[in-house]
A and B are shown apart, each in its own frame.
Chain A
Amino acid sequence: MHISPVLWQFLTKWLANSALFPPEASTVAPWADALYFFLVGMTLVGLLLVSVLVFGFSIRYRKSVHPVATQIEGSTLLEATWTIIPLAIFLVTFVWGALLYFRIYNPPANSMNIYVVGKQWMWKAEHPGGQHEINALHVPIGRPVQLTMISQDVFHSFSIPDFRVKREVIPGRYSTVWFEATQAGTYHIFCTQYCGTKHSGMIGEVTAMTPEDYDKWTQESTSGTSLAQNGERLFASMECTACHNGTAAARGPSLAGVYGSKLTLTNGQQVVVNDAYLRDAILNPSLHVTAGFAPIMPTYQGQISEDGLIDLVEYIKTLNSNYRVQQTLGTSQSDLAAPTTPGMVKP
């Protein structure tokens, strides 16, 4: 009696290398797994119940022992039972699932922000401190990280199974996801939305590091200019300062402190200025004219890349006085400005 060597190798390889359950590497993972086990339990109980009924009745009432069927019309009581009990279980699942959804998609106020741009077929991560990565993402453990993501072309989806998080990355709008890694290590990043030829090549690795290692990594990997500094250069070179300079005679609204504030538009609409609003206002300015100003800003559609837009948004976030804007007037001295620390997001 011997198993063929190939099969034997196969079995040992399986036992050695194949997980049947993904690691729990983020704070939400145990919460997601709890619901998962509840649902697996529900499925097993349901399946067991159906099997017991089907096999039980089949044995008990098979033709050879029960040659004549007894006709039964139905039973309102029984039917009510198997309407109400599944309904109750499904409603519990609904509430539990909704709570988990909000846990996974509502970021804590103190999360650090990293931008991710998806394009066929790679992920570009941009840290505010000026670290750029392709198909890789370095994050500290024990600290909530929010990803603000956008696609440059088709739908993608950013998934880290070991963190139990995933979010569609859509052209033309920011979407966000957050997580807090709990274990140092490397984990898969997958694109899970079919995006063309090399869809299965749009993968990467997230490296979760201890805060000390992470600080070391940010020091060593920075490109030297932060996103905001890049944005400042772009702001100057595209001559945004011609109008958005904060002077009394300016033709455009002052941008100092605008991020996070509430604006009234010419059509009376009230908006909160966030990343998405700033991006839209740059690309489609005529739809977003601040009350009191003329619709004279040209569209920048097709003139700035998604990365450039992110830089501009980051720059505008840092503007807290018009003094900074005026400094930008005709300058390329922004290198002198101190690098900002990576990533604090305003609540």
Chain B
Amino acid sequence: MSAAAISSNTILNLPDQRTAAMPKRHYINNEDGMLSWLLTGDHKRIAMLYLFSITFFFFIGGAFAGLIRLELLTPQPDLVASDTYNKFFTMHGIIMIFLFLVPSVPATLGNFLIPIMIGAKDLAFPKINLLSWYLYLVGGTLTLAALVLGGVDTGWTFTTPLSTHYLNTHVITAASAIFVAGFASIFTGLNFIVTIHRMRAPGMTWFRLPLFVWSNYAASILMVLGTPVLAIAIVLVALERLIGIGVFDPTKGGDPLLFQHLFWFYSHPAVYIMILPGMGVISEVISTFSRKRVFGYTAVAFSSVAIAVFGFFVWAHHMFIMGVSNYSALVFSLLTMLVAVPSAIKIFNWAFTLQKGSITFETPMIYAFGFMGLFTIGGLTGVFLGALGMDIHLTETYFIVAHFHYVMVGGMLMAFLAGIHFWWPKMTGRMYSEPLSKLAAVVSFIGFNLTFMPQFILGYLGMPRRYHAYPPEFQVLNVLSTAGATVLGVGFTLPLLYLAWSLKYGEIAGNNPWQATGLEWQIQSPPLTENFTEVPVIDYEAYDYEWLERKHANEVTTVG
């Protein structure tokens, strides 16, 4: 053990850099050549392929966000034409949701870690896993095609009859993109479910699974059951547009609200597809940096499942003002209140995990704290929108924009970054710069609040979302928001730079730089292609730090 281990304010424990070396053989250098990556069945390589692809799309989506904020700097529609602005927010939404948020944690961290965490060599269906990445790429390419051909301006919600009868843009191309990318998500979910059920190592019982696995399992159920409904809705939109089947057309006896039902039946659970895996990351990070088992493991595990189950029965809360019956509004409002409870349970369980811990504040922990604050705001402002009468005034305004960005960016993206920083040494074998990464976390947190806090106020003042021009009295808050977006842009670009830098110049991380208990930390970094040299036998509970200490003591004795 090096001197770092006895430091009083960090658990980071890197091997002696003078003697340390990367392992001779690992999944990255196991095979060479482009083809070995493009035809790989290795879940870790596919995870890296996904990581590069979603990062690419994240920055494209982010560029659109920047353009939106730039246009909104002034009340007049002066930067671009209205149609162009409408294309900006449509592309921002489609790219960020379908090409970044939905695959973000599951397809990268989940893909990389789930087999290792349960002690398996790979996912159950490695070829389907690769297929899902290709489907994702086809979806991404179609999205880019829609963009290059001239864009699409339906909004990511594809509201009928606007999308079916009133627009001449590339709706079909964008719809096919989402349709295809949806299958990538279904296959990932399917793969996870089968893997978690069938491929756990001996001794890895359900209640010894890391909470990251539980939350990805819950999200997988949502992916597998929800996404087909979106696919159906999208196909119906395409058919209505191409041959006018009339399902959503009132003049042909169709019902325009039916599309809303179908669309939100997926798109509300999709929120949980995005946030649940992020919650899994937070459980791992908080436990590791407070050296404690997650408080109330069972409650946290089951709250993920509860969110997944309740998540399917709240979709009509997107339609309270659309003339759904009073009774249905009541039921959906009540269920919405219920789905908020498991999230509250998680927040308190994480907070109490800190109690009597031995807490250190490395970068992943800073992101996790950011997540807790922002997700609390995001979650509680969701209660505003779930309350029927309040929703009337708030829905379709900037309040809702701020709310879901607090959940999706403040929650999900912070969790994703926490996870990337946490597992980066495992994935690449190298450490990034700690001071720079802490700076990036703090800058993102400040930038985020500056961007979206003013939007809550704008929303209560009544500023509608998706407005190209707005009354001049809303300008000051919009200027603040744009200023915040600039800071946020810096906060998100920094990790790209120092993480890329670390790939070549970062310090050698060693097997277990954070002294974490997960199975993934007990093997070399980066792992072997086959993950484990022999099938691991699990004889300890998740987050058992005493077990880890005994193991270390053993190693020392053995070596000695």
Contact = CB atoms under 8 A, between A and B. Distances in A.
A188 B347 CA distance: 39
Contacts of B470: 200
A167 B321 contact: yes
A162 B462 CA distance: 8
A172 B357 contact: no
B248 to A, nearest CB: 10
Interface string B306-320: 000000000000001
Contacts of B468: 199-200
Contact of B387 (A31, A78, A83, A100): A100
B457 A79 contact: no
Nearest to B164: A154
Contacts of B393: 32, 36, 161, 164-166
Given A153-B166, A166-B396, A18 B473 contact: yes
Contacts of B502: none
A32 B387 CA distance: 11
Contact of A96 (B293, B345, B387): B387
Nearest to B396: A192
A157 B376 CA distance: 30
A194 B473 CA distance: 21
Interface of B is mostly: helix
Residue of A51, A66, A94, A284 with highest tally of chain B CB at under 10 A? A94
B330 interface: yes
A325 to B, nearest CB: 29
Interface in A1-52: 10, 13-14, 17-22, 31-32, 35-36, 39, 42-43, 46-47, 50-51
A72 interface: yes
A304 interface: no
Residue from B8, B384, B393 with most neighbouring chain A CB atoms (10 Å): B393
Contacts of A50: 347-348, 351, 372-373, 376
A271 interface: no
A101 B162 contact: no
Contact of B546 (A71, A74, A83): A71
B388 A97 contact: yes
A42 B390 contact: no
Interface stretch (B228-236, B270-278, B336-344, B428-436): B336-344
A39 B464 contact: no
A154 B380 contact: no
B462 A159 contact: yes
Interface stretch (A57-65, A244-252, A289-297): A57-65
A98 B392 contact: no
A155 interface: yes
Interface stretch (A84-92, A231-239, A311-319): A84-92
B387 A86 contact: no
A191 interface: yes
A69 interface: yes
Nearest to B257: A170
Contact of A57 (B322, B323, B354): B354
Contacts of B383: 39, 42, 90, 93
A62 B292 contact: no
B161 interface: yes
A166 B299 contact: no
Interface in B384-429: 384, 386-393, 395-397
Given A54-B351, A68-B358, A101 B256 contact: no
A169 B377 CA distance: 31
Contact of B333 (A58, A97, A154): A97
Contact of A79 (B296, B326, B355, B372): B296
A168 B359 contact: no
B53 interface: no
Given A164-B393, A170-B323, A74 B356 contact: no
A118 B126 CA distance: 53
B83 interface: yes
A32 B389 contact: yes
Contacts of A195: 162
A193 interface: yes
Interface in B344-382: 344-345, 347-349, 351-352, 354-361, 369, 372-373, 376-377, 380-381
B178 interface: no
Contacts of A54: 351, 354, 369, 372-373
A21 B251 CA distance: 42
A18 B472 CA distance: 9
B26 interface: no
Contacts of A196: 86, 153, 162, 166-167
A61 B476 CA distance: 42
A120 B166 contact: yes
Contacts of A20: 457, 461
A159 B321 CA distance: 11
Nearest to B259: A155
Contacts of A94: 333-334, 337, 386-388
B357 A47 contact: no
Contacts of A347: none
A341 interface: no
A190 B352 contact: no
A69 B358 contact: yes
A150 B406 CA distance: 34
A3 B129 CA distance: 58
Contacts of B326: 101-102, 105
Contacts of B387: 35, 39, 93-94, 96-97, 100
11 contacts: A47-B376, A54-B354, A64-B8, A74-B299, A96-B387, A100-B389, A154-B166, A164-B393, A196-B86, A199-B466, A302-B251
3 residue pairs, one from A and one from B, having the closest CB atoms: A161-B462, A100-B389, A172-B250
Given A46-B376, A57-B357, A188-B462, 11 more contacts: A31-B389, A43-B377, A53-B348, A57-B354, A68-B358, A74-B297, A83-B344, A94-B387, A99-B389, A166-B321, A192-B395
